[in-house]
Homo-oligomer: A and B are copies of this chain.
Amino acid sequence: MGDQEFKNAVKTTLKTIGGKWKPVILCFLKEGVMRFSELKREIPEITEKMLAQQLRELEQDGIISRKVYPQVPPKVEYSLTEYGQTIQEVLDVMYKWGRQHQKRIREKA
């Protein structure tokens, strides 16, 4: 059945960019290159463990790239890969929908 294929593709997307932190991280990285500490500052609720972990996973999936500057103190920059740019459309649609849904919630509350 065709819907099984649809279902699996959607699951794949959510597995790759879903979860509690990945969409948030990507919201910031889509704006440009950011250092570890900058991400941490923009997302204060996240622990360093989770930030590092999620960044690793996104890197392994080819969504973001990690650039290490061999210097002291260390400097590491994260950015969307060319491939990673393709999730922007997904984020944008989720943003648009979420925005109007928030409005709807407020109105009927």
Give the residues in chain B near A16, CB-CB below 8 Å.
98, 101
- Binary CB contact string for chain A from 13 to 31 against chain B (1 if under 8 A, 0 otherwise): 1101010000110011001
Give the residues in chain B near A102, CB-CB below 8 Å.
8-9, 12
Taking residues whose C-beta sits less than 8 angstroms from the other chain, chain A's interface range is 35 or more
Knowing A91-B10, A101-B13 are in contact, say whether A3-B23 is a contact too (CB < 8 A). Answer: no
Distance in Å from the Cβ of A104 to the closest Cβ of chain B? 7
User: A6 an interface residue at 8 Å Cβ cutoff?
Assistant: yes
Q: How many Å lie between the Cα of A10 and that of B93 in the bound state?
A: 9
Give the residues in chain B near A87, CB-CB below 8 Å.
97
Whether A9 and B86, one on each chain, are in contact in the complex, defined by CB atoms closer than 8 angstroms, is no
Whether A95 and B9, one on each chain, are in contact in the complex, defined by CB atoms closer than 8 angstroms, is yes
Interchain Cβ contacts under 8 Å between A and B, 6 examples: A1-B42, A5-B99, A10-B94, A10-B98, A11-B98, A16-B101
Residues of A near any B CB (own CB < 8 A): 1, 3, 5-14, 16, 18, 23-24, 27-28, 31, 42, 62, 83, 86-87, 89-91, 93-102, 104
